[in-house]
Amino acid sequence: MDLDQRLGPVDKLPAPLAAVRRAIAAADNPTRVRRWLRASTAGHVLAGLADGTIALTHDALDTHADGDRGIDYLRALLVASGALPAEDRTIHRFEDFARHQMDAVTDAGDRTALAGWLRWQILPRLRLRAESGKPMAYSANNARRAFRQASHLLAALADRDRNLKTCRQTDIDDWFSTSGHSVWQVRPFLTWAMTRGHVSAGVSIPATPPRTLRPVLDDAARWIMARQLVTDTTLNDADRVAGALLVLYGQPLTRIAAITTGDIHHSSDGTTIVELGGHPVPLHEPFVTLICQLPHRDTQGMSDQLDRTGWLFPGRHADRHISPNALGVRLRRIGIEARLMRNSARAQLATEIPPALLGEILGVNATTATRWAALTAGNWTDYVAASVSTRSGD
């Protein structure tokens, strides 16, 4: 099926779709494009947009989405081409995810509790953050993980022929006895459900275990990787830059993935910094040269024909950066385990610089920076005393 068959003649096409048509025609894999046009829901919706049977609006696309990632991809093409206005769809995507999670909950009472938590706790917080103009990716990812764990807990109770109203303390204790930090992400849901009478009386939540420093690499192993990022020119430039920000500065993938070309600043004295979540991080060669050459595109699909909105690490969708998970997979291929390396970098930095400066470099608050210093035995007593003395003398 060619473009004229699916979208009609060029001279009959609605003007807003012209750029999308050009992007489709210029893609480097015609066979895949034809299959996408012919067989996917997105292809059928695009045809409806072309002949006017489907309105060119976000709401109209929403009615056809139903969790279909192809519609998400089409929406990104339409936004990047200017056919649709840009909107932060983070909350919409989360709501879609939450609906699918709730559909899997078999007990009506449990589903009501989960829906209430979504309506009265999670969504208001996400909307408040969106209205304040703050970045949404990290908060949405945390909400997604917590909601997924809550639905997993309800599934685990159902496997025992129990629900929130009939569960026993042993059921809750067994859940939290599972190894790993993720099981504790269900705590906010259980706390909310208990205060609203959704959980059987007498059941309590175990105390959160004290935080300990997660496994870290020794500093020598970390510097071996750093040296490879500096010297190995066979590595992808984008991977070297992302790896350096992780290995040297302990930056989270959520911040690295969202860097734009506008976050790179060059001063008259020759220094270069990258803004990460509002915090300046200095760069040195060879990473200054490498970052100035980004973004690179390894393919020439439909999305690649459109404006990439300045993302340093473009994603699969035309209007979005690479996802933190996808970036983590790329780094893993060159031997960098993101969480382990980030913790290692932060642990080492916490032994070398005071928490206030550590917070600036890592982009974390003072409490978090101080906790890292304490966990790594960083002794900043003199620094704190000096700071207090200075303030009292002002």
Q: Poorest-confidence range of 23-32, 53-62, 114-123?
A: 23-32
Could you tell me what percent of the chain has a pLDDT over 90? 52
Per residue in 343-376, pLDDT tens? 888 888 777 766 666 666 666 565 665 665 555 4
Query: Bridge partners of 280?
Result: 275
For residue 211, tell me if it sits in a domain: no
Q: 234 and 349: one domain?
A: yes
Instruction: Say if 210 falls within a structural domain.
Output: no
264 in Cβ contact with 282 (< 8 Å): no
How many Å apart are CA 192 and CA 198, to the nearest integer? 9
234 and 366 co-located in one domain: yes
For residues 199-219, give the mean pLDDT.
81
Does residue 202 lie within any of the structural domains? no
- When the pLDDT of each residue in the chain is averaged and rounded to a whole number, the result is 86
Q: Which range marks the domain in which residue 13 is found?
A: 3-81
Q: Quickly state the pLDDT bin for 388 (edges 50, 70, 90).
A: very low
Which has more confidence, 168 or 367?
A: 168
Give the end of a domain, one of 38, 63, 81.
81
pLDDT tens per residue, range 125-160? 999 999 988 778 778 989 999 999 999 999 999 999
337 pLDDT band (50/70/90 cuts)? very high
* Cα(64)–Cα(73) distance, integer angstroms: 13
What confidence score (pLDDT) does residue 393 get? 40
Q: Specify the number of domains making up the chain.
A: 3
Q: What angle do CA 188, 373, 184 make, to 5 degrees?
A: 20
**What integer is the mean pLDDT of 168-172?**
97
User: Residue 64 pLDDT more than 80?
Assistant: yes
Q: Does any domain span residue 207?
A: no
d(CA 302, CA 70): 13
Average pLDDT over residues 232-243: 96
pLDDT band at residue 53 under the 50/70/90 scheme: very high
Which among 47, 81, 115 is the end of a domain?
Answer: 81
Structure confidence by residue, pLDDT tens digits, 271-295: 999 998 777 888 999 999 999 999 9
Output the pLDDT for position 86.
86
CATH number at residue 274: 1.10.443.10
Q: What is the mean pLDDT of residues 226-242?
A: 96
User: Considering just the CA atoms, what is the radius of gyration of the chain in Å?
Assistant: 25
- Is 384 in the same domain as 312? yes
Q: Is residue 145 part of a domain?
A: yes
Does 225 lie in the same domain as 371?
A: yes
C-alpha to C-alpha distance for 331 and 338, rounded to whole angstroms: 7
Is residue 257 one of the residues assigned to a domain?
Answer: yes
Distance CA 330, CA 302 (A): 22
The answer on pLDDT for 56 being more than 80 is yes
- Across the range 38-63, mean pLDDT stands at 94
Q: Do 187 and 223 belong together in one domain?
A: no
Q: Are residues 38 and 74 in the same domain?
A: yes
224 has pLDDT over 90: yes
Per the model's pLDDT, the better-predicted residue between 178 and 2 turns out to be 178
Q: Which of 180, 195, 210 is the last residue of a domain?
A: 195
User: Is 159 in the same domain as 46?
Assistant: no
pLDDT at 348: 80
Check residue 368 and give its pLDDT. 60
- Domain membership flag for residue 213: no
Contacts of 130 (CB under 8 A, 6+ apart): 88, 90, 91, 136
pLDDT at 392: 39
pLDDT one-digit tens code per residue, 312-336: 998 888 778 898 999 999 999 999 9
Residues 351 and 262 in one domain: yes
Considering the domain architecture, whether residues 159 and 238 belong to the same structural domain is answered as no
Q: Quick check: 141 and 255 in contact, CB under 8 A?
A: no
